[in-house]
Amino acid sequence: MKSSRFDVTVLTLGFAFLYIPIIILIVYSFNASRLVTVWGGFSLHWYTAMWSNQGLMDAAWVTARVGVLSATLGTILGTLAALSLTRFTRFPGRMLFSGMIYAPLVMPEVITGLSMLLLFVALNVDRGFWTVTIAHTTFTMCYVAIVVQSRLLTFDRSLEEAALDLGCPPVKTFFKITLPLIFPAVIAGWMLAFTLSLDDLVIASFNTGPGATTLPIKIYSQVRLGVTPEINAICTILIALVTVGVICASLSTKRAEVKRIRDEHLAVRGAT
Amino acid sequence: MASVAETNPPAANAGGPSWTRWLVVVVPYVWLLLFFVAPFLIILKISLSDTAIAMPPYLPTFDGFGEIGDSLSQLDFENYIFLTDDPLYIMSYLSSLRIAAISTLLLLLIGYPMALAMARAPSSIRPTLVMLVILPFWTSFLIRVYAWIGILKPDGLLTLLLQTIGLMGPDQQVQIFRTDTAVFIGIVYSYLPFMVLPLYAALEKMDNTLLEAASDLGCPPWKAFWKITFPLSLPGVIAGSMICFIPITGEFVIPDLLGGADTLMIGKTLWTEFFGNRDWPLASAVAVILLIMLVVPIAIFQNQQKKVV
């Protein structure tokens, strides 16, 4: 089908709406003036100010550790959950299981955050780094499960079956055949989990404790006091990190895809 | 593929020794039971408890499963009765539902043409367009809401723009920040990718020969849209609407940062009850009622997801 002028207009306006606020935010992080509406010239002042803000740096370090740990745990659990959902069509409580995977995706964060906190209080666990990590693991694993599940549903099972038929133990088959094949989805899942953890304010606010202030909590408390270019600077760095990460991931997936297609061609040629 | 599945039932060839198979299911299952389901039972129980000035600020505390019988006698519906007595809470619930419904409608009106245009674009540029929709989703929610504060403030960039192009006098200012309008802008902006992607997924799969057949038979394009395109995209419409409507109802960050003092939303009320008034049982009761309100939309969403899989 041909794109009409209407389609082009709609997409231009839509993407302008999505990107202009982010671009403005980035541009004003280089503003020498403190006022949003006054352009005082190019300056890296806010980046140096941010760098020497100890509270902000501590929060960034906590967030990075929570993010890496919860994304890794969430990816392992989410991949297992995806395997259970796609490979085992029947086990007791499967309905409840798939419900527990889908519900956290849409559950309002205030409910998830509050209920988790009450669990930790009931179990008499001190709130802090670990409670935030566990809370993040729980909601990110569901996103990972969805991403990995969609890959598992489309992939060719015959390779796996061939390995099993030739006597390869199932665990080894998983690590030698299945995991390499679903690996791009697992990586995508990990990145999604990491950014979700990096991004979360509400669930972290409920479950945090002394010494475990994450970056969003810090940013939120500063934003409530007013707009400062220092926040723009840290936001710009976060946006840059995420953009570079996403682009690298998509390039490596594409390269893996190209390599796979080439290998398949070679295999076919070799066979004939 | 289908014949393979028929000859080899999935359960037969996937696990191996029963304990490894067992572990694959049990580990995530137990994790979710402990950290997702158990908290809901606790929230239900605490919503029926009394407030206390202590740490944690509620009575009775959880003393192990043996004493559940004892503590049940101390539970009452006081918090729920309080919620129905105070019009603030009922207004908050109704206002949340109203804001979520209007936002979802706005998202559909903006998201549908975008998804349609993406699905009709040449297939070579479609992955790039999808990437462009996803990318803002990867940047922080808080950052995107924050970006709008700088634009919408009375002395912000929108005022500056309107003054510069002469639509507004130098002494006038845009009065959008801290109103419901700002909340709608923030919500539509933040949730747009969640609406566009399911719609695009539904529209992209569509068989274009149906539309060609309709136009060959003399059906005008707008009529073909309503008779063919829209009905076929309905699963995407439902999925996108639910993915947006449910979390918007409990939204906290957007109404808190962009809304005014009179913008009532239940997520904000719950937050204030918990962090401001430190009334944990009441906050729990607020959460339980919100959850009950969302049971139907969540069930629709789950059902839709099952069909997709």
Whether B272 has a pLDDT exceeding 60, the answer reads yes
What is d(CA B180, CA A117) in angstroms, rounded to the nearest whole number?
A: 30
What residue in A sits closest to B37 (Cα-Cα)?
Answer: A100
What six digits make up the tokens of B275? Answer: 């962090």
Strand partners, B59: B50
Residues of A in contact with B257 (CB under 8 A): 223-224
Q: Which has more pLDDT, A261 or A198?
A: A198
Whether B2 has a pLDDT exceeding 60, the answer reads no
Query: pTM value?
Result: 0.85
Q: What is the DSSP letter of A34?
A: S
Contact A158 B139 (CB under 8 A): no
Q: Which CATH class is domain B86-308?
A: mainly alpha
- For the segment B162-180, the average pLDDT, to the nearest whole number, is 84
What is d(CA B31, CA A89) in angstroms, rounded to the nearest whole number?
A: 20
Range of the domain at A61: 54-271
Number of H helices, E strands in chain A: 12, 0
Min Cα separation B100/chain A (Å):
12
Residues 57-116 of B with CB under 8 A from A: 61-62, 110, 113-114, 116
Which pLDDT tens digit goes with each residue over A45-84?
888 888 888 888 899 999 999 999 999 999 999 999 999 9
What confidence score (pLDDT) does residue A159 get? Answer: 84
Min Cα separation B78/chain A (Å):
19
**Does a structural domain hold residue A2?**
no
Which pLDDT tens digit goes with each residue over B8-27?
444 444 444 567 778 888 89
**Does a structural domain hold residue A39?**
no
Q: For residue A20, which amino acid is it?
A: I
What is d(CA A81, CA A87) in angstroms, rounded to the nearest whole number?
A: 10
**Does a structural domain hold residue A18?**
no
Domain boundaries along the sequence of chain B: 86-308
Contact A246 B138 (CB under 8 A): yes
CATH number for the domain spanning A196: value is 1.10.3720.10
Residues of B in contact with A206 (CB under 8 A): 274
Count the domains in chain A: 1
What confidence score (pLDDT) does residue B17 get? Answer: 54
Of A161, A223, A239, the CB nearest to B13: A161
What confidence score (pLDDT) does residue B250 get? Answer: 92
Residues 7-66 of B with CB under 8 A from A: 8-11, 13-17, 20-21, 24-25, 27-29, 31-33, 35-40, 42-43, 46, 56, 61-62
**Does a structural domain hold residue A194?**
yes
Residues of B in contact with A103 (CB under 8 A): 36, 298, 302
Which pLDDT tens digit goes with each residue over A149-207?
988 888 778 888 888 889 888 888 888 888 988 888 898 899 889 988 988 999 999 99
